[in-house]
Amino acid sequence: MENAPSPLNPEPRVRLSIPEYAMALAHVASLRSEDPFRKVGAVALDFDNRVIGTAYNGLAPGYNASPDFWIDRDDRRKYMLHAEVNLCSLFTRGNVRLVACTTKPCTSCMQMLCAYGVKAVYYRDDYLESEADLIAKRYSIQLVQLVDYPQVTSPV
């Protein structure tokens, strides 16, 4: 957002770029995740930079896990739906220009984003186990780490 200079703030605030805007929305979406170990959010923008949808990682809709479910991180991982999977359920192939995720897509999610025709993927946190870089290079998808953007944090 652009703000005029004031006596309290002599420097005008610069308007967010589209990738920064998308990343900030992905960050907010991640706050909805019920996963206590890793909260991931994602957002999709169309070719006019309109938000198609936001999503986050979590369990299948309608499934309410007991508190014991969350204790064993490795055991519960196979049941978690990734933010990108939830996001792709909201659009059809070729309708998305840009996806922003708070974590680099895993190999499977990057493959899925390719299948949906996404041409640009921005992410904040690296995921070393992912082969997203190789997949992006092979299919000429822009894959960019973006860590410098205004973040909204929840109260502590």
Rank 11-20, 127-136, 142-151 by mean pLDDT and report only the highest: 127-136
Give the torsion sign (CA, 111, 55, 37, 67). negative
Q: Which segments of the chain does DSSP mark as H helices, in order?
A: 18-30, 73-76, 83-88, 107-115, 132-138
- How confident is the model over 127-133, as a mean pLDDT? 95
Whether 4 maps to a domain, the answer reads no
Whether 6 maps to a domain, the answer reads no
Beta carbons of 99 and 113 less than 8 angstroms apart: yes
Distance CA 131, CA 104 (A): 10
Whether 59 maps to a domain, the answer reads yes
Tell me phi and psi for residue 33, to 5 degrees. Answer: -65, 140
Whether 72 maps to a domain, the answer reads yes
Average pLDDT, the chain: 90
DSSP 116: T
For residue 28 the two structure tokens come to: 């907010």
Q: What is the pLDDT of residues 24-71, one digit of tens each?
A: 999 999 999 999 889 999 999 999 999 999 999 999 989 989 989 999
- How confident is the model over 134-151, as a mean pLDDT? 90
pLDDT band at residue 1 under the 50/70/90 scheme: very low
Whether 89 maps to a domain, the answer reads yes
Whether 2 maps to a domain, the answer reads no
Instruction: Give the CATH number for residue 136.
Output: 3.40.140.10
CA-closest candidate to residue 105, choices 63, 152, 55, 154: 55
> Per mean pLDDT, which range of 4-8, 28-32, 87-91, 97-101 is the poorest?
4-8
Whether 13 maps to a domain, the answer reads no
For residue 41 the two structure tokens come to: 């959010």
Whether 110 maps to a domain, the answer reads yes
Model pTM? 0.85
pLDDT band at residue 15 under the 50/70/90 scheme: confident
**What's the domain range around 101?**
23-145
What per-residue confidence (pLDDT) applies to 152? Answer: 59
Total number of domains in the chain: 1
